Amino acid sequence: MTGLLDCIIENTPVVIIISDNSTTAMTGGQESHAFGRLENICKGLGVPEEHIRVFVPLKKNHKEMVEIMKEELAYNGVSVLIPRRDCVQILGKKKKK
């Protein structure tokens, strides 16, 4: 968050990518405390809402993802991309049940 805030204060033309799989991977897959809050955290730090972009990184969404990335790379300011998809390990465990 500190690095993102520095970029916002300096109005650095940068695209930050926060991969969100809704878990805390290093601790065995517990739900992340940031779950459902990343957009609000970025907005609260000062990222313009229209430059906080969330998408599902699946092959069927490739065209949409490319468009989003092109738009945000062309923006002369701070933008945040949040590719959001369930953790593959957690999905595997759910399927076994």
What is the residue type of 24?
T
More confident residue, 55 or 25: 55
Average pLDDT of every residue of the chain: 86
Q: What is the CATH architecture of 2-96? A: 3-Layer(aba) Sandwich (3.40)
Identify the CA nearest to 82 among candidates 32, 10, 9, 26.
32
What's the pLDDT tens digit per position in 60-69?
999 999 999 9
Q: Give the mean pLDDT of 86-91.
A: 64
Confidence class of residue 44 from pLDDT cuts 50, 70 and 90? very high
Beta bridge partners of 20: 84
Confidence class of residue 93 from pLDDT cuts 50, 70 and 90? low
Q: What is the pLDDT of residue 33?
A: 73
Question: What DSSP string describes 18-39?
Answer: --B-SEEGGGTSEEPTTTTTHH
